A = this chain, B = another copy of it.
């Protein structure tokens, strides 16, 4: 049994082509008129080969050796730099970046597939390029000519890596509390501001993968108002264009539960030269425009990690014999015991149906950028705004809980390092926290996206789906609840916060069921490969829907 993850390009291709008709849809968008199933297959297979061959074998060394800090420098685990250099030189990080910037101009859905494979193969390593596209897009859309000329080309290709410097010790989920100071002050190479302050939880704040690191830093100008509206965004490179070292220092890295291959840095900006990106006071907005793509990436990390766990547990269950399964005459493979089949089948259902939802959303994200029809773009945007927090929360919760369930398949062997499954569990835990904790996703969904129009946008998005009567009925329950919560919240301001988690989970399960039907309706959907997870979905995932609805109804019926 190989312990390295092997990406399954075929399963992803099936979802993209047979279920979602991605080639047909994408070729209707002007930037991707030449896109077809052949190109898609080549990219997926190439990605699977690179990820499986180069990145997956570095998972364990990433965990066991980990990133090492000494005297301000971070040494990455053996092999990490070489792998990253091959990664960017082969063009992988630039897959969906604009051709005019040196990218390949491919649709974002392929970048999502690449990163799902990467997260499954080696979550720690994948953190390094994880924020690159977000930084590239931020500078592309908000940077002025100087900023673009200095930083965009090397971010576009991935020759340099990037960070997002948001969190401070006292400012986690609440970025309005950020204190890092930006002072207008001309600096070397035309820098416009001086940055001073401390940031924490900066993934890849320092490393030896690339010759330069470009920090996007949220900071406060001298005359800025308190709160989120006082925040501006700055680009602060580790090395200045003239080659000198800038005042961006890594003071230490965190000891973490997992993700040891990714240095989580405590950063100190001291007399650091920076350039304003976008307008003063609009820093949060400049970063948040990237939010849907970033959160969709994290949702797919959940799927990827679940796939990694499922692959390991399946292989183990087909090797190990213990006790007799019901009706068997002799010792059975673990894979034959109902309790193990249930664990594996349930995760398979989440992965398969989750992919349909996630890649459908990635396609809608592309549509929201590139469709010729403004109304269609608008509808796609609304879908992404609603679906993304649902998936970020539900898929990363399942990434952790499902990986832990897969660990159980190994019995005592799962708790030791030997098979690599406990690393998946430890690595997966962080995805429930970053890019907005899962509780914040639930508030974002209900309070910001569903309640403001009494559930109308939600109803519109769900009505846009081709669905069976049972699915429609669940959608109707959700929109009905949205209306009642809106109503009740006028007098009970805390109500939405109490039921936000349940509402999100109910949406997730209802959408998974819809996704399952799409799988079944696709060519080959009647095969056992796709039918078995659907049975698991119906038996063990769907019953949560009614439970969540009941919890919300009970809260609505209560006096407080």
Contacts and interface: CB of A to CB of B under 8 A. Distances in A.
A539 B173 CA distance: 27
Q: Which of A340, A415, A432, A439 has the most CB of B within 10 A?
A: A415
Contacts of A255: 416-417
A172 B501 CA distance: 38
A498 B104 CA distance: 50
B254 A337 contact: no
Contacts of A325: 494, 497
A411 B173 contact: yes
Interface string A241-258: 000000000000011111
Interface in A307-363: 321-323, 325-327, 331, 337-340, 342
Given A174-B323, A257-B415, A339 B500 contact: yes
Nearest to A555: B539
A338 B412 contact: no
A159 interface: no
A550 interface: yes
A351 to B, nearest CB: 21
A543 to B, nearest CB: 5
Contacts of A497: 325-326, 337-339
A303 interface: no
A543 B550 contact: yes
A494 B328 CA distance: 10
Interface in A394-425: 400-401, 404, 407-408, 411-418, 422, 425
Interface residues of A, number: 69
Contacts of A322: 172-174, 177
Contacts of A282: none
Nearest to A343: B439
A68 to B, nearest CB: 16
A501 B326 contact: no
A163 B297 CA distance: 47
A325 B340 CA distance: 42
Interface in A429-474: 429-430, 432-434, 437-439, 442-443
A387 B173 CA distance: 42
Number of copies: 2
A543 B539 contact: no
A71 interface: no
A442 B339 contact: yes
A547 interface: yes
A501 B342 contact: yes
Nearest to A200: B412
A554 interface: yes
A425 B429 CA distance: 10
A256 B433 CA distance: 24
A326 B257 contact: no
Nearest to A338: B497
A378 interface: no
Nearest to A500: B339
A257 B425 contact: yes
Contact of A201 (B412, B429, B442): B412
Contacts of A212: none
Q: Which of A200, A339, A540 has the most CB of B within 10 A?
A: A339
Contacts of A540: 551
A433 B415 contact: yes
B416 A264 contact: yes
B433 A411 contact: yes
A557 to B, nearest CB: 12
A352 to B, nearest CB: 20
A426 B423 CA distance: 11
A23 to B, nearest CB: 38
A408 B432 contact: yes
Given A201-B412, A327-B493, A429-B407, A439 B339 contact: yes
Interface string A486-509: 000000011011101100000000
A546 interface: yes
Contacts of A539: 551, 554-555
Given A326-B493, A331-B177, A422 B550 contact: no
Given A339-B497, A425-B429, A554-B539, A256 B546 contact: no
Contacts of A327: 493-494
Contacts of A543: 547, 550-551, 554
A443 B337 CA distance: 11
A438 B407 CA distance: 12
Interface string A199-211: 0110000000000
Given A259-B415, A337-B439, A547-B547, 20 more contacts: A172-B322, A172-B412, A174-B321, A177-B322, A177-B331, A255-B417, A256-B417, A257-B422, A258-B415, A264-B416, A339-B439, A339-B497, A408-B432, A411-B433, A415-B429, A425-B429, A540-B551, A543-B547, A544-B547, A546-B546
7 contacts: A174-B322, A257-B417, A337-B497, A338-B500, A339-B443, A340-B439, A401-B401
